[in-house]
Amino acid sequence: MKKSYAILSLVLFIILVVLIGFFYSNRLDKQSIQISSNPWVGFTPFIYAQEKGWLDKTPFKFVWLVDLSENSRLYDSGFTQGFTATQYELLHFKEHSHLKPIFLIDRSYGADVILANRSLNELRAEHKPITVYLELGSLNEDFFKAFVQENGLEKLQFVLKNSSQKMMTTLSPSGYPTIMISYDPYVSEFLKKGYVGVASTRSMQSFSVIDALFVDERFVNGREDDYRELLTIFNKALDQFKRDPHEYYETIHGYLEGQNYQEFMDSTTQIQWLNSGTHTNIETQLHAQHIETNRLLH
């Protein structure tokens, strides 16, 4: 009797171990992939797809941010496995050897802007310290450095203030010389307050900004089809924008920080989509910045 009970217990234990192993491996296979993003015009197809429920049956979960520096904090903490961002955000990571661009999204062509309450010529002649609001440790910092160098402004006195876009939009216009480093959809708010654009990614000759989906490649291995599906969904959303931009705007406008329809449409003319085809010149640029492109989907 005791022998039969022992055998039965052993069999039940083996079954339990097999079931736990199956459950655990199945859970890993379906493990969600957390992606952080922000309401940049080029990333809005992900917003549209999310609002339409197209991501529900995929492993991808998007976390929406305002402060660009949050990408690195969330990734370093293990909360996210990837993010949408420019190559400059990636270059500010302390360690990014596992992070690879999975597919290109757009090239900024005027949507990143340096604004001021002075014209560029007035800034050149300024003798007072110029306060610069920007997100340090992000694309904003690289953009500003390139702007200063390209326009020969090194002798001016700049006071850098680390600030999120959301906080910057709450600041009242000042009589003191001020610069804001911003991007759509926030640029509209600064223009309404009387700031003028003194440089952008369209006018700058020495600064090119590429947006892409970056993911820890350890969460890509064996799951390439998931990312191909995500790219297909992205393209489907972008096709809907081209087919019916007003319906598209109505679906996503809650994320756009107050941008009206015309402002949003204007911002879409200030990027160049890169989500399909091969872009050899872009890949060459990324290689020059020591960013590997061996994981790119085309």
Mean pLDDT of each 10-residue bin along the chain, 298 residues long: 46 44 41 92 97 97 85 88 92 83 95 96 96 92 96 96 92 93 92 95 93 95 95 97 98 93 95 88 92 89
Instruction: Write the CATH number for 269.
Output: 3.40.190.10
pLDDT at 13: 43
| Domain limits for position 194 | 112-200
DSSP states of 88-148: HHHHTSS--TTEEEEEEEEEESSSEEEEESS-HHHHHT--S-EEEEE-TTSHHHHHHHHHH
Domain closes at, from 200, 224, 246: 200
Domain closes at, from 147, 167, 200: 200
Residue 131's nearest CA partner among 165, 156, 166 is 156
Within-domain flag for 11 = no
Helix 245-252, helix 44-51: angle, nearest 10 = 80
Within-domain flag for 58 = yes
pLDDT at 278: 81
Same structural domain for residues 95 and 238? yes
Same structural domain for residues 97 and 229? yes
pLDDT at 127: 94
Residue with tokens 């490649």: 217
* Tally of domains within the chain: 2
Which 3 state secondary structure label does DSSP give 150? helix
Q: Are strands 196-200 and 33-37 parallel, antiparallel or unpaired?
A: unpaired
pLDDT at 257: 85
Same structural domain for residues 186 and 247? no
Distance CA 117, CA 209 (A): 24
Quote the pTM value. 0.81
Residues 6+ away with beta carbon under 8 Å from 44: 241, 248, 252, 255, 256
Which 3 state secondary structure label does DSSP give 25? helix
Same structural domain for residues 105 and 217? yes
Provide the token pair at 260. Answer: 């009206």
Domain closes at, from 152, 167, 200: 200
Same structural domain for residues 78 and 213? yes
> Is 109 in contact with 273 (CB distance < 8 Å)?
no
Within-domain flag for 224 = yes
pLDDT at 174: 87
Residue 146's nearest CA partner among 172, 103, 114, 115 is 114
Within-domain flag for 101 = yes
> Is 27 in contact with 53 (CB distance < 8 Å)?
no
Provide the token pair at 217. Answer: 């490649």
Residue with tokens 């790119």: 296
